[in-house]
Amino acid sequence: MTDARQNRRADAVRDLTARLGHAFARPELLEIALTHASVGEGNERDSRGRPFADNQRQEFLGDRVLGLLVAERLMRDLPDADEGEMSSRLHALVDKAACARAAERLGVGPAMRLSSGETKQGGRRREGVLGDAMEAILAAAYLDGGLEAARAVFDRAWAEELATPMRRSLSNPKSALQEWSLGGGRGLPSYRIVERTGSDHAPTFTVEVSVPGLRPLTGRGRSRQEAEKAAAVALLSREGVS
Instruction: Using alpha carbons, select from 57, 26, 24, 27 the residue that is nearest to residue 40.
Output: 57
Number of separate helices (H) and strands (E) present in the chain: 11, 3
User: From the CB of residue 200, how many other CB atoms can be counted at a distance below 10 Å?
Assistant: 6
pLDDT of residue 190: 96
pLDDT, tens digit (0-9, with 9 covering 90-100), for 154-197: 999 999 999 887 665 566 788 889 999 999 999 999 999 999 98
Q: Tell me the C-alpha distance between 30 and 120, whole Å.
A: 23
Give dist(CA 154, CA 141) in Å, integer: 10
- Domains annotated on the chain, with CATH: 3-163 (1.10.1520.10), 168-238 (3.30.160.20)
Among the listed residues 141, 166, 175, the one whose alpha carbon sits nearest the alpha carbon of residue 16: 141
| pTM greater than 0.85 (yes/no) | no
The mean per-residue pLDDT over the stretch 81-96 comes to 80
% of the chain at pLDDT higher than 70: 90
CA distance 175 to 91: 15
Buried b (16+ CB within 10 A) or exposed e, 57-68: ebbebbbebbbe
**C-alpha–C-alpha distance, residues 22 and 155, integer Å:** 12
Task: Specify the pLDDT at position 197.
Answer: 87
Report how far residue 226's alpha carbon sits from residue 230's, in angstroms, rounded to the nearest whole number: 6
| C-alpha to C-alpha distance for 157 and 140, rounded to whole angstroms | 14
Mean pLDDT of 140-154: 97
16, 106 in Cβ contact below 8 A?
A: yes
As annotated, the active-site residues are 63, 135
Query: Mean pLDDT in the chain?
Result: 87
pLDDT confidence of residue 53? 87
Residue 51 has pLDDT above 80, yes or no: no
Q: For residue 240, what pLDDT is reported?
A: 78
9 or 148, which is more confident: 148
pLDDT digits (tens, 9 = 90+) for 106-141: 999 999 998 888 888 888 888 889 999 999 999 999
